[in-house]
Structure 1
């Protein structure tokens, strides 16, 4: 069963990708860009280095903008395991100077609450954020808007039953300091597929036991 605070935890974790910082209305493509280009192939390469635990150093072209948007939309994958000071440094590493203070305040608060709630679980916490597809809505030399469709998976014994959350993140980027930086991000629910006919609900403990010995593809340990 899901513990009393589970729904709060889920809401916080969904917000960890900073989707609460703006309107949840999706921006239509501009007249100059035409229909958005939806991509389902491998995420393009982009970052040249890492700073404060975040990939940075993207090319100024569309490939670089997409790579930055995908990294920023799924950054909560890393932040849950950071301390508050590390979260602040990570957000400042990718945010525009004008948006950094607001983003830091929101993300540090959300991560801290989620970390505290999930810390009550006596077992391992499965928290995975994975990008699935992307679409460029608009891009110039100075700005870009990219949508990222992603799924999050959460399971924590006595805190949250195994569940998946499907979201589309709209990421606004600005070219600042020789790199693509995060100006704003917002999210909408879905599109959400139905579960398969052979699927069934799982409880957190058998879910974790079934994954015993599995290694996350990003190499991070399950904690």
Structure 2
């Protein structure tokens, strides 16, 4: 599927002038951004920005569903959560404050997806999310991060970024809310508070799926008829008090990821 501006053949994102957020479609994968000072931050960033924010944060400062799975795991069925009517597209967010919020939430989901661990999908996402002036540098930085075998090994993935046989890689962002910090017509600063699921669901998984909470603040610019990211920052929390619930088994978690497709829109 194409994430480029004006392409909607995959229905990854969408902007109809409404404040709906489009999330990436099936077969995905920038779970957290890949690069953080600590292994946890690294994982968190990898998933979210890769972790939009691990990898991206690292890349920035340095310069669905899961895309992979093992065994007989089948690709999540996006139709389970697809909206009715016109499919969301990857561009066309409204040129106003609400449009900027929808773009920020939508881009966070894409950058935090497992698709970021696939080179071709990562390039498509980065080209769709960042301004042309920033995208090239981000591509280079992120490629270096995601190509590090030590990094991939630390989060339990194979050297090619896929999950070990019998495991399902999970990297999803769930937006809770957005806030406009600044709006100036053709520029905007938007913060998004979200929870992130990141890790491997499978027997003896090195990094079981866990939940984290973050707030990303995106600098957006109106260019080429759409909102694009020029930079961002990430911080931990706010983190709610966890309930006393027993964690599900690896099999139950993998089944849920496979059966519940990622949202194609959220707001």
Verify same fold: TM over 0.5.
yes
- The alpha carbon displacement at 1:13 in A equals 2.3
Q: Deviations over 1:68-122 (max 9, x none)?
A: 1111122135452663123212211221122112222233344555564552252
Q: Would the alpha carbon gap of residues 100 and 79 (structure 1) be closer, same or farther in structure 2, given more than 3 Å must change? A: farther
RMSD: 3.1
Aligned to 2:135: 100
Q: Distance between the aligned counterparts of 1:216 and 1:153, measured in 2? A: 14
TM-score scaled by structure 1?
0.69
1:18 paired to 2:63:
no
TM-score scaled by structure 2?
0.59
Residues 194-209 of structure 1 mapped to structure 2, 5 A cutoff: 194-197=241-244, 199-202=245-248, 204-208=250-254
Q: Distance between the aligned counterparts of 1:83 and 1:213, measured in 2? A: 18
Match of 1:138 among 182, 207, 219: 182
SS of the aligned residue for 1:56 comes to: coil
Structure with higher Rg: it is 1
Which has the larger displacement, 103-112 or 63-72?
A: 103-112
Q: Distance between the aligned counterparts of 2:115 and 2:197, measured in 1? A: 13
Structure with the larger strand share? 1
Q: Distance between the aligned counterparts of 1:216 and 1:91, measured in 2? A: 22
Match of 2:125 among 79, 83, 90: 90
SS of the aligned residue for 1:67 comes to: helix
Q: Distance between the aligned counterparts of 1:76 and 1:64, measured in 2? A: 18
- For these two proteins, the number of residue pairs brought into alignment is 185
1:164 paired to 2:245:
no
Q: Deviations over 1:104-144 (max 9, x none)?
A: 22333445555645522522233321111111000011200
Q: Would the alpha carbon gap of residues 152 and 144 (structure 1) be closer, same or farther in structure 2, given more than 3 Å must change? A: same
On the 8 A contact 2:177/2:193 being kept in 1, the answer is yes
Q: Distance between the aligned counterparts of 1:176 and 1:14, measured in 2? A: 24
Q: Distance between the aligned counterparts of 2:116 and 2:165, measured in 1? A: 15
Q: Would the alpha carbon gap of residues 22 and 213 (structure 1) be closer, same or farther in structure 2, given more than 3 Å must change? A: closer
Q: Would the alpha carbon gap of residues 176 and 17 (structure 1) be closer, same or farther in structure 2, given more than 3 Å must change? A: farther
Q: Would the alpha carbon gap of residues 87 and 213 (structure 1) be closer, same or farther in structure 2, given more than 3 Å must change? A: closer
Q: Would the alpha carbon gap of residues 70 and 111 (structure 1) be closer, same or farther in structure 2, given more than 3 Å must change? A: farther
Q: Deviations over 1:25-76 (max 9, x none)?
A: xxxxxxxxxxxxxxxxxxxxxx9963xxxx2111111111111111112213
On the 8 A contact 1:80/1:111 being kept in 2, the answer is no
On the 8 A contact 2:192/2:216 being kept in 1, the answer is yes
Match of 1:120 among 144, 151, 164: 164
